[in-house]
């Protein structure tokens, strides 16, 4: 299966991704995680991406399309994939269709994590993550066993620099202006499943499984 997750920051895409990945053995590509790794490594890509990310604006289409084009060549991505956080603009969606067409493939399903903006600030400001795996926790909704420590590796958790109420505002603005049209793009193809993402995580997981069955 070739699956895309679309939703505003904090809607639960990263939380559901590993579950979908394990259930269907897909490769999981999260452009946000890839970009953060590049920023941390101070690679040329990271240096170009950092300013926009810090401000909560989108990185240029060319940069992220390049990352995805490269990543989709991995053997583990040939049978299927979950794209988390890509495409975020209509241009990116069109480029993805072109890339897949070349490989004789297409997007099977788009999961739209639908949620009110009002809920997102509490989710985002309470989020903690394990940088190298992308695993996320929440101080109130999904606390780690030991505060500030990853359950699996015992390594320290961090708070993302852009997970503040102020930067969230720009990220939401970018979502409504630039990413919502992506949902329309896929709606015209009839492949969107709308998931109420304000429900508890287990219920969202059940809806995800139903949408993909």
Rg of the chain taking only CA atoms, in angstroms: 16
Please identify which residue in 6, 20, 29, 58 interacts with ligand ADP, judged by CB under 6 A.
Answer: 58
Task: Give the tokens for residue 161.
Answer: 């620099």
For residue 182, give every residue at least 6 positions away whose Cβ sits within 8 Å of its Cβ, in sequence order, or none.
Answer: 6, 87, 88, 89, 90, 92, 93
Interactions with ligand ADP, residue window 17-46 (CB under 6 A): 31-32, 35-37, 39-40
2, 36, 50, 88: the active-site residue: 88
HEC string of 67-115? Answer: HHHHHCCCHHHCCCEEEECCCCCHHHHHHHHHHHHHCCCCCCEEEEEEC
CB of 65 to ligand ADP, least distance (A): 8
Interactions with ligand ADP, residue window 93-122 (CB under 6 A): none
1, 109, 160, 199: the active-site residue: 160
Active site residue 160: yes
For residue 179, give every residue at least 6 positions away whose Cβ sits within 8 Å of its Cβ, in sequence order, or none.
Answer: 6, 8, 88, 89
| 137 scored as a contact of ligand ADP (CB under 6 A) | yes
Please identify which residue in 2, 28, 95, 127 interacts with ligand ADP, judged by CB under 6 A.
Answer: 127
| 90 scored as a contact of ligand ADP (CB under 6 A) | no
Side-chain half-sphere of 137: how many Cα atoms within 13 Å? 21
The site for ligand ADP (CB under 6 A) is made up of 7, 9-15, 31-32, 35-37, 39-40, 52-53, 56-59, 64, 85-86, 88, 92, 123, 126-127, 131-132, 136-138, 141-142, 158, 160-162, 171, 200-201, 204
């Amino acid at each position: 299966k070739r699956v895309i997750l679309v939703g505003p920051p904090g809607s639960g895409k990263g939380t559901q991704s590993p579950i979908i990945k394990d259930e269907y053995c897909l490769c999981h590509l999260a452009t946000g995680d890839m970009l953060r790794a590049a920023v941390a490594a101070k690679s040329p890509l990271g240096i170009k991406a950092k300013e926009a990310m810090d401000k909560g604006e989108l990185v240029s289409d060319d940069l992220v399309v390049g990352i995805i084009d490269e990543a989709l060549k991995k053997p583990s991505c040939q049978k299927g994939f979950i794209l988390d956080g890509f495409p975020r603009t209509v241009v990116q969606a069109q480029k993805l269709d072109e890339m897949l067409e070349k490989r004789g493939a297409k997007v099977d399903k788009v999961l739209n994590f639908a949620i009110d903006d009002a809920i997102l600030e509490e989710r985002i400001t309470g989020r903690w993550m394990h940088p190298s795996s992308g695993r996320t926790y929440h101080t109130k909704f999904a606390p780690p066993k030991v505060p500030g420590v990853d359950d699996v590796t015992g390594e320290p958790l961090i708070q993302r620099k852009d997970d503040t109420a102020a930067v969230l505002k720009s990220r939401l603005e970018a979502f409504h202006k630039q990413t919502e049209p992506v949902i329309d793009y896929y709606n015209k193809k009839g492949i969107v499943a709308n998931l109420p993402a304000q429900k508890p995580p287990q219920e969202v997981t059940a809806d995800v499984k139903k949408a993909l069955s």
